[in-house]
Amino acid sequence: MPETREPQTRKPDAQRSRADILAVARAEFVEHGLSGARVDAIAEKTATTKRMIYYYFGSKEGLYSAVLEQAYADIRSTEATLELRQLDPLAALRRLIEFTFDYEDSHPDFVRLIAIENIHQAAYLTRLTTIRNVNADAIASLDEILSRGLREGVFARECSAVDIHLMISGLCFYRVSNRHTFGAIFGCDLSVTEMRKRHKAMIVETIVGYVRSGPMS
């Protein structure tokens, strides 16, 4: 409504409507979880109506699934722009960790969504077959870095890409996902700039240190 916008050439607003709903829904699900979210609340914040939500997504759960799918697609497509193969193994590993840290740090919504999906035991993610392939790439990429590093003698430890991925994710995800309870218990705010910088460096060093040191360090 802020500016007159004539209907683009042909297609009405289907894409726009869908995208609008998705964005609003994402915020609502992130804020209240799947059961806590209200379709009415989503509809109200939308340019369309509640009816349209069902028209496009079939059900609250269908909408949630779409939100989830989009969230995963987003991170993986961003990740794909990293071009890690062009860096030497150490730089590539650092960059991957830093990217993970930065992405989760700057997308607490994404983190919350994953946490919510875990509460539901990944029931919805499991049904999204599109996701799996995309993620195989992420692991393949990390695997390539690790074996290149080993070959070149930069890394000393032979380790599984999935294991390293697990650790990177754990370290980066937890400080976002659990910042509220952590803050409540230890009386600190993990999102403070100074802490964020320190933790980023710490995590990089921890993982890099692990990979570079020999198995019986």
Partner DNA sequence: TATGAATGAGATTTCATTCAT
Partner DNA sequence: TATGAATGAAATCTCATTCAT
* Residues contributing to the site for a second copy (CB under 8 A): 32-36, 112, 114-122, 125-126, 131-132, 135, 139, 159, 162-163, 165-167, 169-175, 177-188, 190, 198-199, 202-203, 205-207, 209-210, 212-213, 217
Kindly state the smallest distance separating residue 3's Cβ from DNA, in Å: 14
Instruction: State how far the Cα of 208 lies from the Cα of 96, in Å rounded to an integer.
Output: 11
Pick between residue 6 and residue 194 the one whose CB is nearest to a second copy.
194
> Phi/psi of residue 176, each to 5°?
-90, -50
Kindly state the smallest distance separating residue 145's Cβ from DNA, in Å: 43
Q: Half-sphere exposure (CA, 13 Å, Cβ side) for 36?
A: 12
Residue 49 contacts which entry, DNA, a second copy, none (Cβ below 5-8 A, type-dependent):
DNA
**Exposed, middle or buried by CB within 10 Å (0-12, 13-18, 19+), for 211?**
buried
Q: Which of 1, 10, 129, 184 binds DNA (CB under 7 A)?
A: 10
**Window 14-33: contact mask with DNA (x via CB under 7 A):** x--x----------------
Instruction: State how far the Cα of 185 lies from the Cα of 211, in Å rounded to an integer.
Output: 32
Residues listed for the chain: 217
DSSP string, 169-203: HHHHHHHHHTHHHHHHHH---TTSHHHHHHHHHHH
Candidates 56-64, 97-105, 143-151, 176-184; binding stretch for DNA (CB under 7 A): 56-64
Q: Would you put residue 122 in left (φ > 0), alpha (ψ -120 to 50) or beta?
A: left
Q: Which of 19, 31, 49, 122 binds DNA (CB under 7 A)?
A: 49
Kindly state the smallest distance separating residue 215's Cβ from a second copy, in Å: 8
Instruction: State how far the Cα of 126 lies from the Cα of 131, in Å rounded to an integer.
Output: 9
- CB–CB of 95/33 below 8 Å? no
Q: Is residue 5 part of the contact set for DNA (CB under 7 A)?
A: no
Q: Is residue 13 part of the contact set for DNA (CB under 7 A)?
A: yes
Q: What's the angle, vertex CA 201, arms to CA 109 and CA 92, rounded to 5?
A: 85
Kindly state the smallest distance separating residue 86's Cβ from a second copy, in Å: 25
Pick between residue 20 and residue 182 the one whose CB is nearest to a second copy.
182
Residue 112 contacts which entry, a second copy, DNA, none (Cβ below 5-8 A, type-dependent):
a second copy
Instruction: State how far the Cα of 158 lies from the Cα of 135, in Å rounded to an integer.
Output: 22
Q: To which H or E segment does residue 153 belong?
A: none
Binding site for DNA (CB under 7 A): 7, 10-14, 17, 37-40, 48-52, 54-55, 58-61
